[in-house]
Structure 1
């Protein structure tokens, strides 16, 4: 059997030249495999296929749920009979050796990756599945789509902008070092988080996501908010909206607080998701 040697975060791995089944332990890897026309037989979908955004779920079809992204189900991965496993270099590094006992495994960035690092991960995956030419073609199409949507954006990108996820007692702000923060910056949006705020805030899950309480959010005082939610009417969102600080945020006062889908904006971090985000922004009006 012909193999290809792939360099990745854990070293080098020999991978079959023809991949007919792959397991993805992060959503962005599913996105990449679908774009490259690779059969996805297993996905760490946190136990619910509804976590896959519609364009991806429809193309993947039937697959084995490999459990949680943070704690994949090894028996389920075996059941998916992968020829290749794609795992996150931060979340899954401690289980790498065990994964390689099931199938050749590569570690690439997703969770703690910015937009450009996700593009780099896509290129590595393209090489791993012996579809470098296809990957280049998809990347060019992606770049063209993003540029087209960017040209259609009517929002004032000079307004300081902050993407957030709502929590029980505050928000998690996504800095320019995160996927969505860096992607918004690439679309021309001005970041609201200053270096001082970043240095004085707590990191979330060891990445470049910052925990802010309501008061800190009002002190950052972004002129535009993208609020990434699974349910706009959740108790957490209501608590934020009922807080004293909320009404004093410039983005709220000026009606520049946009509720968007958390799955697409924060969890997927892939090419298709990026295109969906850019399209959604291009359709927003002040």
Structure 2
């Protein structure tokens, strides 16, 4: 009888241990599976060069255009590497305040593949016009997405932001940021009088020429989005090098000059009677603006800054 009781006790104890072990195993597996599923989640991102699979949440991101730096800053992310043209001063102040230290990976035209590789990135964001030819090389370093930036209009920049938000695993947060941006844009649009009829001409002015941005350019389409009509409503190219005679013919009411260098062609034109015939010149509606802000950076943050700048010049 004693043996029988002892045997039953041993069996009960073994079953108790087995149940505990099974419970622990299940708890461990459940926790591990959730964590693994979250960290190893894969998604396919469609972009200009096809489709790229990204696993998990990228932490070391390299941005090869300023618009993508703007995108990441809007999402609270500091890129590990930026193609900043080897000049940190090109990072505009509102974005410089949002991002911390980063490594320069060279120029936007010719980023250093060696430096990019040394950062061990888990995501590279590149521009279609500048970087399509090195897409394969970039993809060998890390998952790479190619998006329009240099040749994009304002809506194209917004679309690229949504793709970047999805690529970095912040799609929901990206939608919240975008809604805030849209509200800000409505507020800015409300500051432009409904009867505003003046035409505006944004242009990069340098010693090498006058480079006008038409209605389909980033800056041109951005200004048009709040009711400021671009002076150039035609043309195959979004960025056009034009001469003084063409400016007189276009005859813009307002000119925003993104100045490049100490001396520009406009300095020469100021002594020319033809230049004095332009409506913007006659009405003293020629404004010098920050080229980094108005031309090089293209994103949600910079778009808002450009429009605030334009409105301040025109109405305040």
TM-score (norm 1): 0.91
- Tell me whether 93-102 or 31-40 shows the greater mean CA deviation: 31-40
Counterpart of 2:252 in structure 1 is: 222
Of 79, 92, 95 in structure 1, the residue corresponding to residue 118 of structure 2 is 79
Counterpart of 1:4 in structure 2 is: 43
- Cα separation, 1, equivalents of 2:198 and 2:132: 39
State whether residues 76 and 98 of structure 2, in contact with CA within 8 Å, keep that contact through their aligned partners in structure 1.
Answer: no
The 5 A counterparts of 1:190-269 are 190-195=229-234, 198=235, 203=237, 208-230=238-260, 233-269=262-298
Offset, 1:235: 4.1
Q: Is the counterpart of residue 275 in structure 1 residue 304 in structure 2?
A: yes
Offset, 1:21: 1.5
The 5 A counterparts of 1:110-129 are 110-129=149-168
State whether residues 19 and 38 of structure 1, in contact with CA within 8 Å, keep that contact through their aligned partners in structure 2.
Answer: no
Between structures 1 and 2, the one with greater helix share: 2
Q: Which runs of structure 1 show a deviation greater than 6 angstroms over 4 or more consecutive aligned residues?
A: none
SS of the residue 2:305 aligns to: helix
- Tell me whether 148-157 or 25-34 shows the greater mean CA deviation: 148-157
Counterpart of 1:149 in structure 2 is: 188
- The size of the alignment, in residue pairs, is 276
The 5 A counterparts of 1:158-169 are 158-169=197-208
Offset, 1:101: 1.0
The 5 A counterparts of 1:33-48 are 33-48=72-87
Offset, 1:80: 2.5
**Which ranges in structure 1 are unaligned for 5 or more consecutive residues?**
none
Offset, 1:243: 3.6
- Cα separation, 2, equivalents of 1:128 and 1:145: 25
State whether residues 46 and 52 of structure 2, in contact with CA within 8 Å, keep that contact through their aligned partners in structure 1.
Answer: yes
TM-score (norm 2): 0.83
Of 63, 69, 76 in structure 2, the residue corresponding to residue 24 of structure 1 is 63
> Which string of whole-angstrom CA distances, capped at 9 and with x for unpartnered residues, describes residues 231-274 of structure 1?
5x534442243344321111010111111111111110110000
- Cα separation, 2, equivalents of 1:111 and 1:240: 29
Of 102, 107, 120 in structure 2, the residue corresponding to residue 63 of structure 1 is 102
Change (3 A) 1:258 1:14: same
**Which ranges in structure 2 are unaligned for 5 or more consecutive residues?**
1-39
Offset, 1:60: 1.7
SS of the residue 1:67 aligns to: coil
Change (3 A) 1:38 1:194: closer
Offset, 1:20: 1.1
Offset, 1:285: 4.1
SS of the residue 2:129 aligns to: coil
SS of the residue 1:99 aligns to: helix
Change (3 A) 1:244 1:16: farther
State whether residues 44 and 72 of structure 1, in contact with CA within 8 Å, keep that contact through their aligned partners in structure 2.
Answer: yes
| Cα root mean square deviation, aligned | 1.8
- Cα separation, 2, equivalents of 1:141 and 1:95: 35
SS of the residue 1:101 aligns to: helix
Offset, 1:152: 2.3
- Cα separation, 1, equivalents of 2:125 and 2:52: 12
